[in-house]
Chains A and B, each alone.
Chain A
Amino acid sequence: MEDAFQVAAEWYDGTNAVRHSGELSWDGRGGFSLAASTSHIEFDASDLRFGETRPGRILYRRESMPDFRLILPEDIPPGLAAQLPAKSDYGAWIDRLGLGKAAAIFAVASAAAVALFMTAPDWLGPRIPASWERNIGDAMVGDFGGRICHTPAGDAALAKLLAKVDPAEEKVRAGVANMDMINAVALPGGQVLLFDGLVQQADSPEELAGVLGHEVGHVRERHVMTALLRQFGLSILLAGADSGTTNSIFGLASMGYSRDAEREADEYARARMAASNISPLGAAGFFERMAKQHGDTEDAPALLGWLASHPSSGERAKAYRNAAKKGANYPPVLTDAEFAALKSMCREDPDVEEFDFF
């Protein structure tokens, strides 16, 4: 055998730790042989796999014998080197492309994936069927464990109010939640809750119509699903480690809508109120009061979650006030008795539970 096809080699056969030192030769027909006084092995060239490089040496493995190790010097005669498997550095794909090219391709693909992920809530949210959203909402919150206030008169008043701001055939599910907070939420599954604290501070039923219309707007404009997807995406980004708190009710209640979504919901509310001939001045009064009480700052305290993510109260009050038709005589949206029934429905419901998990 010529020197060009032969090289000094060390190998371990994988059955024990004994090192064999001898020669590796190429037989010219697609096979290698290893010869030492202690060991003689023959195998196909196609069986050999590159392992790793060491200072001055290269390590090979065999596909058919996972424990076998062959160690060759770095400078191998070219004739023999041509028969050995190529070195691999980063992994198959990147070795083939080269580091720079591979990094550029990965960067473009990653940027596209990030863009898709970031914008997904906006284009995917409205395309998710409402029935799916309803199922998701039911799975998440169900009937709130009896924490929604019910009295016959109160329910009737709420239904009347809802009919004015939600003209659709299938109404959203609205309720007054037994919680002393000036807040209202639109939840997944077309469920809208006014908190009792908000009902108690209302001066007129028109105020409640404005808030209810706004929340119905979120449902009808499919903002809820968009916000839910964004929340879900965020919890994935946070490695899912914090999923315990991010998918909690708290997360839902404080689920933020974008400024644009808030404006859309306000516009929806004003349009419905105009169509039903409800005075927007009540809602304007509500926002003016909020602006006076809490200061008209962009970042309101977290407790006022509903107000915090909304456009500034003063600005909104103006928008509602401007929506009022000059000299129009709006009939009251509810009778005094109906308004009173709404206000007393949490106090008079004997079965309602406390909202104590917040």
Chain B
Amino acid sequence: MHGSHDAEGADSAFVFEGNWKDFARIAFPNLLLTIVTLGIYRFWATARERRYLWSRTKFVDEHLEWAGTGMELFLGFVMVFVLFGVPYFGLTFVAQALIARGYEAIGAGLGFVALLSIFYLGGVARFRALRYRLSRSRWRGIRGGSDHGGFVFGLSYMWKNLVGWIPLGLLVPWSMTSLWNERWSKMSFGPYQFEADADSGNVFARFLLFYLAPFVMFIGMLIMGGMGMLAGYGLGGEDGMAIGGIVGLIGIVLFFYLGLGLIAVAFYAKFYREVVGSTRWHDLHFSFEASTMDWVKLLVVDALLVVLTFGIGFIFLSYRHWKFFMTHLEAGGEILLDELTQSETKTAKHGEGLLDAFDMGAI
């Protein structure tokens, strides 16, 4: 079956075929085993979940495959604990001992170094988590990866975040898009590099909502409070006015939290459309079509699912998020299958899986 694929031919290049009942048959035993092993099974549980989610996701005409194992996640965790957790513990211990002996400045300095190293490693971990996921994801036997270890990215992560926050956070959209571009440009799948050139200008307007919010909310507060009091007065005179005022106050608090949350969601929705839409792989371009409303629905149902099941619904969140991601992810362009050769990036042999224990949301 030689030839090429036109990813635009089908309805959507990415199709998710899983269903929650099948997933439940994986998630519930996982939960049980994780509890009875005091959390140690977590790594194998993650691998099982991903194997399911990946294998039920079709890209064009073939399913994805998750080739990672629980053991390598576990070993990654152990290595991080030994190589970084223990030195960090030692460093804070020495810092405390120095402070106790009266060397406050040196002690505080060491404590600061410990915090700074956590900041740095957080950046490295973000890079390596994405690299790990790409290197364990296969399509038609081909995998992804990166030739970089993420140690340079860790430095970028530090300075770009700092620069982003210094001018009252105004450059945060720039630091976020710039870090996205830097990270994805160092990744590859098969023989081809990813490219990303997201423009922070396109998400900046949404970001400004965070600054407008206090003004909008202040006015909202006045209106809500006033209306509450008026309504209360209309219903029951002076006493009613007080009760109305309290109801108004509750409204203000809700308005504040929901308002700020809504702005954050609106920003992230726009951010994801921009960064995914600016990411390319060889002749393939991607897009992400989730609107703010889609995100709100996702998060509200997430919250309801967890609350109404007394927390057990938590095990379905990874399923819901993957499905959300795959449903809204689109790709267009052409893939030449003959040219799509195996990735030559380094794999596990060279210490991959070291920092992958910090396997947080990779994308």
A-B contact pairs, 7 of them (CB 8 A): A12-B142, A17-B139, A18-B2, A52-B55, A240-B85, A244-B92, A357-B104
Number of interface residues of A (CB under 8 A): 49
Q: Check A47 for interface membership: any CB of B closer than 8 A.
A: no
Let me know if A12 and B33 touch, CB within 8 A.
no
Let me know if B65 and A59 touch, CB within 8 A.
yes
Chain A, residue nearest B86 (CB): A240
Let me know if B96 and A140 touch, CB within 8 A.
yes
Q: State the CA gap A28–B189 with chains docked (Å).
A: 39
Let me know if B100 and A142 touch, CB within 8 A.
yes
- Which residues 1-37 in A have Cβ within 8 Å of B in the complex? 12-21
Pick from B200-208, B297-305, B322-330, B335-343 the stretch touching chain A: B335-343
- Which residues 27-53 in B have Cβ within 8 Å of A in the complex? 29, 32-33, 36-38, 41, 44, 48, 51
Pick from A100-108, A152-160, A216-224, A259-267 the stretch touching chain B: A100-108
Residues of B within 8 A of A53 (CB): 55
Residues of B within 8 A of A103 (CB): 32-33, 36
- Which residues 80-98 in B have Cβ within 8 Å of A in the complex? 85, 88-89, 92-93, 96-97
Residues of A within 8 A of B167 (CB): none
Main secondary structure of the interface of B (DSSP, over half): mixed
Q: Check B321 for interface membership: any CB of A closer than 8 A.
A: no
Residues of A within 8 A of B294 (CB): none
Q: State the CA gap A126–B339 with chains docked (Å).
A: 69
Query: Chain A 64-92, CB within 8 Å of chain B: the 1/0 string?
Result: 00011100000000000000000000110
Chain B, residue nearest A57 (CB): B63
- Which residues 200-249 in A have Cβ within 8 Å of B in the complex? 240, 243-244, 247-249
Q: Check A321 for interface membership: any CB of B closer than 8 A.
A: no
Given A13-B141, A19-B1; A249-B99 close (CB under 8 Å)? yes
Let me know if A21 and B1 touch, CB within 8 A.
yes
Let me know if B140 and A19 touch, CB within 8 A.
yes
Pick from A143-151, A268-276, A303-311, A325-333 the stretch touching chain B: A143-151
Residues of A bordering B, CB below 8 Å: 12-21, 38, 51-55, 59, 67-69, 90-91, 94, 99, 102-104, 106-107, 110, 113-114, 139-147, 240, 243-244, 247-249, 353, 357
Residues of A within 8 A of B111 (CB): 244
Q: CB < 8 Å: which of A17, A106, A110, A357 contacts B141?
A: A17
A sample of 19 more A-B contacts (CB under 8 A), given A67-B141, A67-B142, is A12-B140, A16-B339, A17-B341, A18-B140, A18-B337, A19-B140, A21-B1, A59-B65, A67-B143, A91-B70, A104-B36, A110-B38, A141-B97, A142-B100, A145-B103, A147-B102, A240-B89, A249-B96, A249-B100
Residues of B within 8 A of A15 (CB): 341-342
Q: State the CA gap A15–B341 with chains docked (Å).
A: 5
Let me know if B63 and A54 touch, CB within 8 A.
yes
Chain A, residue nearest B347 (CB): A66
Chain B, residue nearest A357 (CB): B99
Residues of B within 8 A of A144 (CB): 100-102
Shortest C-beta distance, A341 to chain B (Å), equals 25
Q: Check B231 for interface membership: any CB of A closer than 8 A.
A: no
Shortest C-beta distance, B144 to chain A (Å), equals 12
Q: State the CA gap A147–B1 with chains docked (Å).
A: 81
Given A54-B63, A102-B33, A110-B38; A142-B96 close (CB under 8 Å)? no
Q: Check B176 for interface membership: any CB of A closer than 8 A.
A: no
Residues of B within 8 A of A90 (CB): 29, 33, 44, 48
Residues of A within 8 A of B266 (CB): none
Q: State the CA gap A248–B107 with chains docked (Å).
A: 12
CB-based closest 6 A-B pairs: A145-B102, A12-B141, A17-B340, A17-B140, A106-B36, A107-B36
Q: Check B247 for interface membership: any CB of A closer than 8 A.
A: no
Q: State the CA gap A17–B190 with chains docked (Å).
A: 9
Q: CB < 8 Å: which of B55, B96, B102 contacts A54?
A: B55
Q: State the CA gap A110–B89 with chains docked (Å).
A: 26
Q: Check B62 for interface membership: any CB of A closer than 8 A.
A: yes
Residues of A within 8 A of B342 (CB): 14-16, 67
Let me know if B37 and A247 touch, CB within 8 A.
no
Q: Check B147 for interface membership: any CB of A closer than 8 A.
A: no
Q: State the CA gap A335–B262 with chains docked (Å).
A: 73
- Which residues 245-280 in B have Cβ within 8 Å of A in the complex? none
Q: State the CA gap A52–B47 with chains docked (Å).
A: 11
Q: CB < 8 Å: which of A17, A99, A142, A146 contacts B142?
A: A17
Q: CB < 8 Å: which of A20, A142, A143, A248 contacts B1?
A: A20
Q: Check B315 for interface membership: any CB of A closer than 8 A.
A: no
Query: Chain B 160-201, CB within 8 Å of chain A: the 1/0 string?
Result: 000000000000000000000000000000100000000000
Q: State the CA gap A126–B154 with chains docked (Å).
A: 45
Q: CB < 8 Å: which of A13, A55, A67, A94 contacts B33?
A: A94
